[in-house]
């Protein structure tokens, strides 16, 4: 029955989802050009709230477990595994008080209403994965931006999405560069589980009744551990939590 329902509900989802992107593209433009960063951020927060409501049309439920009072006014580095493009809206909405920004591939910087505009103008960084030298420099500048403006960067050390929910190899390079360029950051490991199921058939149809779980782990000062220890700490926290989900 769920498989039959997934076809019409996917059509409804994409219609509403597309409408939300178009509406908020205009709202972002007005907020950014007319009122500055704060107004633009609010428009992006609510964009992602409504994207989650779109997912509810599919019977998707999102559980975000964050038992910690993350402090405003200090830089954070959020380290998470990556399973689908639908990882992003809950991270933006539920962590909105610490101003999450993203390291994204440059191809996402154009062609997608609302999403591309935010990546270009909201404080995130677009990198060229084919040019490692320029990518490193971009991440360095991003870390310095986070430190100066007391905002938060989200990094997915797997680099690409896991298509089956299994944790892929974590790469050290991006996180090391980010920590070195923002040494005063607080690092926040986050485990994400089950969002891969939304795209297990590709873009269509989207399955019905998926429960997505997020777990925020104990924040830790980047300067409190050597990088190798910090890296292993984040990886183990995420990996152990995903194992417990399953």
168-211 tens-digit pLDDT: 999 999 999 999 999 999 999 999 999 999 999 899 999 999 99
Place of tokens 């417990």: 244
User: Does residue 2 have a pLDDT over 90?
Assistant: no
Q: Count CA atoms within 13 Å of residue 217 on its CB side.
A: 23
Mean pLDDT over residues 144-172, rounded? 93
User: Each residue of 39-73: pLDDT tens digit?
Assistant: 999 999 999 999 999 999 999 999 999 999 999 99
DSSP SS3 for 122? coil
Mean pLDDT over residues 10-26, rounded? 98
Q: Which ranges in the chain belong to alpha helices (H)?
A: 2-35, 37-56, 88-94, 115-121, 132-149, 173-181, 227-245
The 10 Å Cβ neighbour count of residue 211 is: 14
Mean pLDDT over residues 136-157, rounded? 97
Mean pLDDT over residues 136-161, rounded? 96
Nearest to 183 by CA among 219, 229, 140, 233: 140
Domain count along the chain: 1
**pLDDT band at residue 243 under the 50/70/90 scheme:** confident
User: Does residue 129 have a pLDDT over 70?
Assistant: yes
Residue 246 has a pLDDT of 63
User: Each residue of 202-229: pLDDT tens digit?
Assistant: 999 999 999 999 999 999 999 999 999 9
Contact 222, 184 (CB under 8 A): yes
Domain of 69, CATH number, reads: 3.40.1130
Domain that holds residue 69: 2-245
Mean pLDDT over residues 110-129, rounded? 96
User: Each residue of 71-95: pLDDT tens digit?
Assistant: 999 999 999 999 999 999 999 999 9
- Distances from the Cα of 172 to the Cαs of 98, 161, 231, 235, in angstroms? 24, 16, 7, 10
pTM tops 0.85: yes
């Amino acid at each position: 029955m769920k498989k039959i329902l997934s076809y019409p509900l996917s059509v409804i989802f994409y219609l509403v989802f597309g409408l939300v992107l178009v509406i908020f593209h205009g709202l972002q433009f007005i907020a950014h050009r007319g009122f500055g960063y704060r107004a633009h951020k609010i428009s992006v927060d609510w964009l992602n709230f409504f994207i989650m409501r779109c997912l509810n049309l599919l019977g998707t439920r999102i559980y975000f477990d964050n038992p910690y009072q993350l402090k405003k006014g200090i830089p954070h580095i959020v380290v998470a595994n990556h399973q689908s493009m639908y990882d992003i809206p809950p991270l933006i909405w539920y962590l909105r008080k610490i101003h999450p920004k993203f390291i994204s591939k440059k191809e996402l910087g154009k062609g997608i209403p609302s999403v591309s505009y935010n990546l270009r103008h909201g404080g995130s960084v677009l990198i060229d994965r084919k040019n490692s030298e320029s990518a490193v420099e971009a991440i360095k500048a991003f870390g310095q931006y986070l430190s100066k403006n007391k905002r938060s960067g989200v990094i997915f050390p797997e680099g690409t999405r896991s298509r089956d929910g299994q944790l892929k190899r974590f790469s050290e390079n991006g996180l090391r560069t980010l920590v070195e360029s923002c040494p005063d950051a607080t690092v926040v490991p986050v485990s994400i589980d089950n969002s891969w199921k939304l795209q297990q058939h590709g873009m269509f149809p989207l399955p019905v009744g998926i429960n997505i779980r997020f777990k925020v782990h104990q924040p830790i000062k980047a300067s409190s551990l050597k990088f190798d220890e910090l890296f292993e700490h984040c990886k183990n926290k995420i990996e152990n939590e995903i194992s417990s989900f399953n």
